[in-house]
Structure 1
Amino acid sequence: MHIQIVGLHAPNAPRLRELLGPGYEVEALHAFPGAGAIRSDVVISNSVSADEATRLHCRLVHVPGAGSEQIACPSLPSGTTVCNVHGHEVPIAEFTLHAILEHFLQLWQYPARLDAAAWAQAYASRAQHDEADGKTVAILGFGHIGQEIARRARACGMHVIAVTRSGKQGSEELAHEYVAVSALDDVLARVQVLVVCCPLDDSTRNLIGARQLALLPAQALLVNVARAEVVDEQALYEALRDKQLGRAVLDVWYRYPKKGQAPVSPSRWPLHELPNVRATPHISAITPALLDRRYRFMARNIEHLAEGQPLLNVIYQAT
């Protein structure tokens, strides 16, 4: 069986080769060929353009992550299956909890070095910080990631509102309230933290706009670990710039660097320059344990394909 790993994940070909063992040929490609047929039993890639999809002849396209919006699924030939993989919920939940605690504890206001020169002034001018206990967090998107965030937020004594498509009541151990996305505006005024961790599609693009940001309390925190485009770019910048929104921790961005192209800033607006923005370069999920979990899962799915067993995490079947 022939497997191609294309793009950013190409350096992980040896990892997959070791997991699969003999009988599997794993090829690393920095990019798809610019023309002609693309033939392989399995393709692992974060991105398949419409042109590439029409030239693709394979049985399985495996996304090495959860998001599949960069896979041109409608252009794939009949018989192609698309699967994704999770495993990122634990590190993203830990990253999010850190962002929440940092917001309330405000450790940045203290000197980086507490030496003899700084000690007296720092001690005399100690400011009060806040606490997460008793605060309300709304989690937009309550799948694998949202539920892990909820577990940690509840352990800190926070009131958790799960915002889902349907608003259907779920486990009381995870969230105190379940509300539908259509009712999101009704709860924003009483939350101190809004966490965005929902998929990006036509229904969620720019779901958080100027109106929603204005409904949040002035000192609220927004954490985005989903896709940047769920939050309207200009509205977010203006709300933070004008202090209508207290702070934001942004780990996902509107523009990404691409090999062979001129450098770009992460946003058309200078979000990274604002003092109330914590900007990180899409790192919330990146840990050694994450890669191990994901590649073990993909190796098992490839073995299922080879053995004619049902595939796991099927998200699209081209007909």
Structure 2
Amino acid sequence: MHIQIVGLHAPNAPRLRALLGPGFEVEALQAFAGSGAIRSDVVISNSIGADEAARLHCRLVHVPGAGSEQIACPSLPAGTTVCNVHGHEVPIAEFTLHAILEHCLQLWQYPARLDAPAWAQAYASRQQHEEAHGKTLAIVGFGHIGQEIARRARAFGMHVIAVTRSGRQGAAELADEFVPVSTLDDVLARVRCLVICCPLDDTTRGLIGARQLGLLPAQSLLVNVARAEVVDEQALYEALRSGQLGRAVLDVWYQYPKKGQPPVNPSRWPLHELPNVRATPHISAMTPALLDRRYRFMAENILRLKQGQPLLNVIYPAP
């Protein structure tokens, strides 16, 4: 069985090869060929354009993550199944809770080194900080990531509002309230922490705009670990610049570096210059344990394909 790992995940070919064992040829490619048929039993890639998809001849496209918006599924030939993989919810939930606690504690206002010269001033100027306990947290998107965040937030005594498409009541141990996204505006005035972890599609693009940001109380925190475009770019900048929104922790961005192209800022607006923005380079899920979980899952799916068993995490079934 022939497997191609294409693009950013190409360096992980030896990892997959070791998991699969003999009988599997794992090929690492920096990019697809510019023309001609692309033939393989399995292709692992984060991004497949419409032209590449139309030239693809394979049984399984496996996305090495959860997001599949960069896979041109409608252009794939008949008989191609697309699967994704999770496993990132644990580190992203830990990242998010760190962001919430950092916002409450505000430890950045104290000296990095508490030596004799800094000690007296720091001690004299101590100020009260907030507690996460009792604060209301709204989680937009309540899948794998949202639920892991909720479990940890509940342990800190936060009031959790799960915002989902349907608003259907879920497990009481995960959230205090379940509301449909259509009524999000109705709860924002009570929210001190707003976490974005929903998929990006036509219904969620720009979901959080100037109106929603204006409804949040002053000094609220926004954490985006989903896709940047769920939050309107200009509205976010204006809300943070004016102080209408207290703080944002952003791990996902509107512009990404591309090989062979000039460097770009992460946003068309100077979000990176604002003192109330904590900017991280899309690292919330990057742990060794994540890669281990994901590649073990993909190896299992490839074995299932070879053995004719049902595949796991099918997001686009072969027509």
Q: Secondary structure at the match of 1:202?
A: coil
CA distance in 2: counterparts of 1:38 and 1:153, whole angstroms: 46
Displacement of 1:218: 1.3
Question: For 1:123 and 1:216, how far apart are their aligned partners in 2?
Answer: 33
Match of 1:213 in 2: 213
Partners of 1:11 and 1:45 lie apart in 2 by 12
Structure 1 counterpart of 2:50, one-letter code: A
Q: Give the aligned residue type for 1:141.
A: G
Report the equivalent of 1:122: 122
Aligned position for 2:261: 261
Residue 30 of structure 1: aligned partner: 30
Q: Give the secondary-structure state (helix, strand or coil) at the position aligned to 2:245.
A: coil
- Normalising by structure 1, we get a TM-score of 1.00
Q: Distance in 2 between matches of 1:125 and 1:203?
A: 47
Aligned pairs (5 A) from 1:77-96: 77-96=77-96
Instruction: After TM superposition, give the deviation of residue 175 of structure 1 in Å.
Output: 0.1
| Aligned equivalents of 1:167, 1:49: Cα separation in 2 | 34
Is the contact made by 1:3 and 1:24 (CA closer than 8 Å) also made in structure 2? yes
SS in 1 for 2:123: helix
Residue correspondences, number: 319
Partner Cα distance (2:33, 2:47) in 1 = 13
- The answer to whether the Cα contact below 8 Å between 1:73 and 1:318 also exists between their aligned partners in 2 is no
Q: What code does the residue aligned with 2:73 have?
A: C
- Runs of 4 or more consecutive aligned structure 1 residues displaced over 2 Å after TM superposition: none
Q: In percent, how many aligned pairs have the same letter?
A: 86
What secondary structure does 1:119 align onto?
helix
SS of residue paired to 1:34 = coil
Aligned to 1:4: 4
Distance 2:159 2:121 in 1: 36
Aligned to 2:57: 57
Deviation at 1:318, TM superposition (A): 3.6
Matched, 1:191 2:213: no
Structure 1 residues 189-234: Cα deviation after superposition (integer angstroms, max 9, x where no partner): 0000000000000000000001000000111000000000000001
2:143 partner amino acid: G
CA distance in 1, matches of 2:263, 2:126: 42
What is the SS of the residue equivalent to 2:269? coil
The root-mean-square deviation of aligned C-alpha atoms, in Å, is: 0.5
Aligned to 1:280: 280
- Alpha-carbon distance in 2 for matches of 1:265, 1:50: 27
Distance in 1 separating the partners of 2:143 and 2:271: 28
What is the distance in 1 between the residues matched to 2:28 and 2:249? Answer: 34
Amino acid at match of 2:33: P
* Stretches of structure 1 lacking an aligned partner (at least 5 in a row): none
Query: What is the deviation of 1:307?
Result: 0.4
In 2, the alpha carbon distance for the partners of 1:266 and 1:183 equals 31
Distance 2:220 2:138 in 1: 11
| Alignment partners' CA distance in 1, 2:241 and 2:133 | 28
User: In the alignment, residue 32 of structure 1 is paired with which amino acid?
Assistant: F
Write the letter of the residue equivalent to 2:114: L
- For residue 260 of structure 1, report the CA deviation from its aligned partner: 1.1
Q: Distance in 2 between matches of 1:265 and 1:36?
A: 35
**TM superposition shift of 1:288:** 0.1
CA distance in 2, matches of 1:274, 1:237: 9
In structure 2, distance between residues paired with 1:206 and 1:106: 29
Give the match's secondary structure for 1:74.
Answer: helix
Task: Tell me, yes or no, if structure 1 residue 68 matches structure 2 residue 68.
Answer: yes
Q: For 1:291, give the aligned amino acid.
A: L
Aligned AA for 2:115?
Answer: D
Supply the distance in 1 between the matched residues of 2:186 and 2:125 (Cα, whole angstroms): 39
